[in-house]
């Protein structure tokens, strides 16, 4: 491969699609929210332990840790165009939506669930296809493959 071909391939590889940039930032914001949740649970552990809540502070901390760290890793991998990022994004989007709904049904009080379920359903119905569509666009597949001539 000549120097010009290598430079052209590298510049095309580094051209991150706008939809991937937006998705990466969105995932970063969600992960930062969960890391903030983790820090709040840790700093307020004694108070949370004394409250009559349906889940333990350990569950809340583990939830914040898992989604915070996995979100940071996914955001970075989307941003840098790692080959595995698109599939990981699809899997994590499904897992996140499932965990969100399980938490909503399991943890929420009945009256809170009655007032929030519709807007959460709308966000889920719009959000999951948006993630799938964004990760499966041709420019996204090219970005993650690293080879502009190869589109699977």
In a domain, 92, yes or no: yes
Q: Is the pLDDT of residue 6 over 50?
A: no
* Number of domains within the chain: 1
pLDDT per position as a tens digit, 93-123: 999 999 999 988 888 777 777 788 889 999 9
pTM of the model: 0.82
* pLDDT at site 131: 97
Confidence of residue 151 (pLDDT cuts 50, 70, 90): low
Q: Is 134 in contact with 123 (CB distance < 8 Å)?
A: no
C-alpha to C-alpha distance for 147 and 121, rounded to whole angstroms: 37
In a domain, 152, yes or no: no
pLDDT per position as a tens digit, 30-40: 999 999 999 99
C-alpha to C-alpha distance for 20 and 81, rounded to whole angstroms: 9
In a domain, 91, yes or no: yes
**Domain span including residue 81:** 3-145
In a domain, 122, yes or no: yes
In a domain, 99, yes or no: yes
In a domain, 26, yes or no: yes
Measure CA 14 to chain center. 22
């Amino acid at each position: 491969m000549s120097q010009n071909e290598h430079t052209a391939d590298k510049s095309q590889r580094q051209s991150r699609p706008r939809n991937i940039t937006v998705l990466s930032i969105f995932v970063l914001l969600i992960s930062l929210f969960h890391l903030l949740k983790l820090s709040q649970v840790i700093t307020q552990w004694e108070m949370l332990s004394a409250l009559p809540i349906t889940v333990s502070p350990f569950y809340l901390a583990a939830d914040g840790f898992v989604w915070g760290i996995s979100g940071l890793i996914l955001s970075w991998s989307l941003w840098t165009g790692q080959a595995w990022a698109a599939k990981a994004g699809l899997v994590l989007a499904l897992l996140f939506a499932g965990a969100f709904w399980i938490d909503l049904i399991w943890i929420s009080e009945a009256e809170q669930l009655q007032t929030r379920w519709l807007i959460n359903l709308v966000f889920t119905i719009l959000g999951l296809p948006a993630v799938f569509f964004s990760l499966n666009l041709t420019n996204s597949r090219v970005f993650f493959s690293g080879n502009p001539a190869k589109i699977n």
